[in-house]
Amino acid sequence: MNDQSNQSCQTWNTPFWPEGVSRTVGDYSFPVFKFLDDSAKKYPNNVFTVFNGAQRTYAQVKDTADRIANFLAGKGIKKGDKIAIFLPNLPQFPEILFGILKAGAIAVNCNPVYTAPELNHQLKDSQSKMVFCMDHKDFYASTVTAVKGTGVQTVIVCNIKSYLPKFKAFLGGVLGKLPKADKIEPGHLLLDDIVATASPHPPVVEINPEKDTAIMLYTGGTTGLPKGAELTHTNFTYNTMASHEWCRLVHYKGKPAEKLIMGDYHCVLGVLPWYHSFGLTGALLVSCLLGAKIVCIPDPRAGKPPFTEVLKTVQKYRCTFMSAVPTIFVAFANHPDIGKYDISSFLGCISGGAPLPPQVCKQFEDKTGSIIFEAYGLTETSPALTANPTFRETRKIGSIGFPLPETDIKILNLEDSTKEMPRGQDGEIAACGPQVMKGYWNRPDANEEVFVTLDGQRYFLTGDIGNIDENGYITITDRKKDMIIVGGFNVYPRDVEDILYTHPKVELTAVVGIPDERSGEKVKAFIKLKSGQKATIEEFEQFCKENMAGYKRPKIIEFRDEIPVSNVGKVLRRVLRDEHKQ
């Protein structure tokens, strides 16, 4: 049991609990790196990572991780020390991550497109002693600047050349097309040299999976300086195993749905960044648990038009499973060349990170034959809290389904978080379970704000507004801070966005509230049209008049060539609000 999360193990009250899915997960109290060790033992020759045609087996990844752990121990890294990973989705990422954990240290995952000041803050705040970065003109330059004035003693540089097929590595070197820093600073080390000289014997470290932090992920960057969420080994091992327990897919035509098959059956598309909890758990760790392969996608937007390389990858490797955010499903569904590629290999996809518009879900499924089931969670919950059943019969589109096994959800009064709301009424979503973080690093003030004790259990206040219907399905209506109040009426941006997505010309949309002297706030809609489409404001005003209540209708409509999204693909409403103010 995770004493940090006070797991609840309540039986969720619904007649539609997915058939065959257990109410409990079983033993998940072990270090995260056991996933790698177990798969390397059972499937040593199975391919783990695929990158630009080069493949690394589970045995190879474990060997490298063990050598990295040995090196770290030799450099004086002790249990609980922090080590930063400043990398995109490269094959070195899992080797470094597991190496850090095997040394008993804590991995601090950093957004690889951070500027030097942003990375500097994270390195300082986390008190990181080392950082792994990419041998790349921009990434490395940012690292060199960012480590100044921090406690970082060692910089380790990762070059992709040794992780490419020999011919590609040779050709890239000859043509000068491989990413490379202008020069490596004296004293900075190369990962290839470390792996070549270290012993494949990791140190023996006593790990308490329930209490020891495994990974620190920074969050809250859209509302101020990011905070480090301390996530334990069992936060991740529970979440990975709960995801496997929950997911049931039809692997063979005419056969019943079953758990994701262990071994080399599945190929996971690693399109979400692994520094983020959704990509880390929903793709990398799930692949590792299965002993399946994962295709490294450092830049999903690669190709002309954007996302073309991803389509080629799905076709080439016959990817069966993908965790993604709604903007990625939008990119697939609206890609002008989607008909040229066979992406029918997808069996199932998880959508999370933001609400999935029902129209986008339908478009993607119509074009791929796959099924999308929506999940919900946060960085602080490693990440999944709830998920829709993966059966079409019991899936409720637009809902985030039920809590995962051993997880409890309550809907609390927006003004008084000690009071629970009746079924069907909106309130703040609060969560209790084995996946909930220990707390924010060095931020007791922030912890006070986000945790509440109810019935002797510790619940995390998510900041999301939602409700539970009579059948137990949970629906998010919006982020607490994004709610718009028009003349005393609550307007949830997602409600308006979902309606706008039903318009055939809309590719992407975002709705925000802006100040208004008469009504307090009014609704503004930003719309990106599908490629080749043209429209007028009057056309959309009429559409809104026909499809939504007066107080919900956007009073201002602005067409945009692009709508700002985060690196994980979330629409950044805050940026749009700030732009409007300016």
Spatial CA neighbour of 431 closest among 382, 470, 381, 469:
381
Cβ count near 169 (within 10 Å): 18
Which whole-number Å values give the CA distances from 160 to 164, 213, 296, 502, in the listed order?
7, 29, 12, 43
Burial bucket for residue 63 (CB in 10 Å: 0-12, 13-18, 19+): middle
User: Cα(350)–Cα(195) distance, rounded to whole angstroms?
Assistant: 35
How high is the pLDDT of residue 184? 95
Pairing label, strands 258-259, 248-249 = antiparallel
**Both tokens assigned to 52:** 């630009």
In the three-class reduction of DSSP (H, G, I as helix; E, B as strand; rest coil), residue 78 is classed as coil
Task: Give me the sheet containing 47-51, strands edge to edge.
Answer: 54-57, 47-51, 293-296, 267-270, 321-324, 348-351, 371-377, 384-387, 402-403
Cα angle: 111, vertex 114, 117; to 5 degrees: 130
Nearest to 580 by CA among 507, 478, 510, 485: 510
pTM: 0.89
> Whole-angstrom Cα distance, residue 29 to residue 37?
15
Q: Which residue type occupies 305?
A: P
pLDDT at residue 229 in the model: 97
Residue 390 DSSP label: S
Give 100: exposed, middle or buried? Use CB within 10 Å, 0-12, 13-18, 19+: buried
Task: Count other C-beta atoms under 10 Å from residue 446's C-beta.
Answer: 16
Cβ–Cβ under 8 Å, residues 313 and 343 = no
Nearest to 400 by CA among 329, 322, 461, 467: 467
Residues 38 and 184: their CA atoms lie apart, in Å, by 37
What pLDDT is stored for residue 3 in this prediction? 42
Q: Report the pLDDT value the prediction gives residue 176, as an integer from 0 to 100.
A: 66
How many other CB atoms are there within 10 angstroms of residue 415's CB atom? 8
Q: How far apart are CA 366 and CA 399, in angstroms?
A: 19
Are 506 and 366 contacting, i.e. CB atoms less than 8 angstroms apart?
Answer: no
Assess contact for 67 and 196: CB atoms under 8 A.
no
| CA 26/CA 262 separation, integer angstroms | 17
Exposure string over 334-349, b if 16+ CB within 10 A, otherwise e: bbeebeebebebbbbb
Q: pLDDT tens, 373-432?
A: 999 999 999 999 999 999 999 999 989 999 999 999 999 998 899 999 999 999 999 999
Q: Under a CB-based contact definition with an 8 Å cutoff, are residues 362 and 398 in contact? A: no
* Nearest C-alpha neighbor of 438 from the set 236, 221, 223, 222: 236
Query: Which H or E element spans position 523?
Result: strand 520-529
For residue 346, list its beta bridge partners: none
CA nearest to 377, candidates 320, 434, 425: 434
pLDDT at 570: 83
Q: Which residues pair with 228 in a beta bridge?
A: 218
Q: How far apart are CA 364 and CA 357, in angstroms?
A: 11
pLDDT at position 175 is 61
Per-residue pLDDT of the chain (582 residues; tens, 9 = 90+): 344 444 445 679 999 999 999 999 999 999 999 999 999 999 999 999 999 999 999 999 999 999 999 999 999 999 999 999 999 999 999 999 999 999 999 999 999 888 898 899 999 999 999 999 999 999 999 999 999 999 999 999 999 998 988 767 765 665 667 888 999 999 999 999 999 999 999 999 999 999 999 999 998 643 456 899 999 999 999 999 999 999 999 999 999 999 999 999 999 999 999 999 999 999 999 999 999 999 999 999 999 999 999 999 999 999 999 999 988 999 999 999 999 999 999 999 999 988 888 899 999 999 889 999 999 999 999 999 999 999 999 999 989 999 999 999 999 998 899 999 999 999 999 999 999 999 999 999 999 999 999 999 999 999 999 999 999 999 998 877 788 888 878 788 988 999 999 999 999 999 999 988 777 889 999 999 999 999 999 999 999 999 888 889 999 999 999 999 987 888 899 899 888 887
Cβ pair 388, 375 in contact under 8 A: yes
Domains of the chain: 7-15+234-431+444-478 (3.40.50.12780), 32-206 (3.40.50.980), 483-581 (3.30.300.30)
